Structure 1
Amino acid sequence: MRFNNILVVIDPMLETQPSLLRALHLAKQLKKADIRAKLTLFLSLYDFSFEMSAMLSAEERESMHEGIISQKKEWLEELIQQTIPADSGIEIDTTVVWKSRDYEAILEQVKLKNHDLVVKVAKPAEGLDALIFTPTDWQLLRKCPCPILIVKEHEWQPEGRILVAVNVADDEEYHDILNKKLVDASLDLAKVLAAGNIHLATAYPTTPVNMAIDLPEFNPNAYTDSIRGQHLINMKALRQHYCINEDHTHVEEGLPEEVIPQVAEKIKAELVVLGTIGRTGLSAAFLGNTAEHVIGRLNCDVLAIKPDPYELEQMNNSQD
């Protein structure tokens, strides 16, 4: 997976722009690997008070919009001059739009310009290790067709570890396809970023308490051993396919939203790569999205990758 056309979401409320710094670092590393990457700094604006003023005509509102957009474009140009050396050789563009919903503006831009990566910052929660994810973040995770890199305010360390959250629960073909897509992307990034080792992590479920109570003949230890054994077999097949050392794989009992953050903290991961199905509607309301629950507990950068459309179709068919 190569990232050549990167959309960098700028937050005008921040003094520094972690999304720009991360995208710039990635573009520099790609350039060293003879891969040209274009950065588009993107800003979505909206002020509800302008729309409600009865004193302004439609033409006057449009003129004010254009004036504010022009000011912000100048600000972005100043930001570029302050952040990116003139001789960097990296192609830079800016886009400012007037849109009430940030995530809709981002999605429209991604589709319009065929961006292959969105880089966006997540804000740290005060007094907590986890990050705050806004409604815009969640909407993007569910609907954005290209990968999303959600970053925190820190620098990537040399030889930083990358943790790949995989699903080896069964032999469904689409799970194997998505797992390999995630690992392939992680290996590509590791080469470009001169990152350290790739680690794989998966979670297997605990024994259902009601089964042990309702079925006296049920052996919970044998059940757990069987589930864990199958996960170990499937994980072994995946790691051997990529020649990943056994001590860089983690098969742990529990919920993914608990296991993945624990493993990430244990190995001091700089980046967690995971797949997100992107449920919408009632399915999202009642079932949620496992990836979203995992992401909300992580204290490192996250690269969320969606399955290809045909993989999503397989997933949906399997759930019917």
Structure 2
Amino acid sequence: MLDINHLLVVLDAEHPEQIALDKALWLAGVLKADVSLLTSVYEPYCGDSSSLEEATKQQIRRARIDSTERWIESFVPEVQERGITVRTEVHWQKHLHEAVIKSMRATDYDLVVKGTHPHSLIDRLFTHTDWNLMRHCPAPVLLVKSPAAWQHNRILAAIDATSVDDGHQLINDNILSFAEHLADHFDTDLHMVNAFPQVAIAFAMVPEVTAPDDIQAYITEQHQDACEQLAKKYNIHEDHVHIAEGETDTVVAETAIAVAADVLVVGSVGRSGIAGVLIGNTAEQLVDKVPCDVIVIKPQDGVLPEAE
């Protein structure tokens, strides 16, 4: 069963609105979960290479941590007023995602919740917090676009139905398992979307090779059959299965808008380095293309089995 008992909410003092907190409080109320609020603080001139006296560095560090603790504690009364158990964490870390990963080494959180906003290529080149969490966080990550509760009762799961490698098949199962159980918790409709390649364009790039007449029909049938099997496995209604030809990020984004999805559940294989940035990870591209919240699932983010 889907076990979301502990939410880790990532707060960023540089952002005036903490939309992740609003969404997390709604989730915690529905799921009967507890909440941990996390942030980080760091001053470069307090680092090991700083020329300041050690006592001065410690004094500055303590003052900055104390100030940040007062800031994050200011959110506690709002959480407690809703009857939700809450704790806070302030980490001395240069990067916010490093604080999240450090925290998760000590505590098993079921879902990390963070607000997000549009990103540029520069953000990606300089390993923005969101990108690092999507790739490396040892738990599913909910990137929040709006503080409001989900209102349309629709969850959209994006999968690659015909992928044959073990990694993508595992992600497909994790995406659909998570989405199915999330839909059960919130009594919402579950939709599934799958894109398949535009074969004509691929063959146009190699004009010396002639495309078989029936190749597109064959590929279409493959995806339809694979989606039908997955839909039956995860109890998705036939009219909630969306299959279209085109680039994955475009098809998924258009479908999310068309069905008025509240949240998109998508997988990430965790590419790293410049190659990952330039080639692009579909999950990362979709965060900026869809208007709804996005939950990013990785190969290790499986749903817990039913207890005996």
TM-score computed with the length of structure 1 as normaliser? 0.84
Shift of 1:153: 2.7
Number of the residue aligned with 1:213: 207
Aligned equivalents of 1:222, 1:59: Cα separation in 2: 75
Aligned equivalents of 2:262, 2:68: Cα separation in 1: 32
Matched residue type, 1:39: V
Secondary structure of the residue aligned to 1:157 is: coil
Residues 40-92 of structure 1: CA distance to partner in whole angstroms, max 9, x if unpaired?
111111233555874x41122112212221222122222221x2243x33210
Q: Which runs of 5+ in 2 are unaligned?
A: 303-308
Number of the residue aligned with 1:235: 227
Matched residue type, 1:269: A
Structure 1 contact 124–152 (Cα < 8 Å) conserved: no
Aligned equivalents of 2:31, 2:301: Cα separation in 1: 27
Task: Between 161-170 and 289-298, report the one with greater CA deviation.
Answer: 289-298
Provide the aligned C-alpha RMSD in A.
2.5
Number of the residue aligned with 1:192: 185
Secondary structure of the residue aligned to 1:168 is: coil
Residues 72-115 of structure 1: CA distance to partner in whole angstroms, max 9, x if unpaired?
2122222221x2243x3321010111211222122111222222
Matched residue type, 2:64: I
Structure 1 contact 256–294 (Cα < 8 Å) conserved: no
Number of the residue aligned with 1:281: 273
Aligned equivalents of 1:20, 1:240: Cα separation in 2: 36
Q: How many residues align?
A: 294
Shift of 1:192: 2.3
Aligned equivalents of 1:59, 1:197: Cα separation in 2: 58
**CA separation of 1:211/1:99 partners in 2, compared to 1, >3 Å: closer, same or farther?**
closer
Q: Which runs of 5+ in 1 are unaligned?
A: 32-36, 127-131, 311-320
Number of the residue aligned with 1:24: 25
Aligned equivalents of 1:162, 1:80: Cα separation in 2: 30
Structure 1 contact 2–188 (Cα < 8 Å) conserved: no
Aligned equivalents of 2:61, 2:205: Cα separation in 1: 62
Number of the residue aligned with 1:40: 36
Number of the residue aligned with 1:147: 140
Q: Which has the higher contact order (CA 8 A, sep 6+)?
A: 2
Matched residue type, 1:151: V
Number of the residue aligned with 2:100: 106
TM-score computed with the length of structure 2 as normaliser? 0.87
Number of the residue aligned with 2:11: 10
Q: Percent identity?
A: 31
Shift of 1:262: 0.6
Number of the residue aligned with 2:79: 84
Secondary structure of the residue aligned to 2:214 is: helix
Aligned equivalents of 1:75, 1:170: Cα separation in 2: 47
Aligned equivalents of 1:226, 1:171: Cα separation in 2: 16
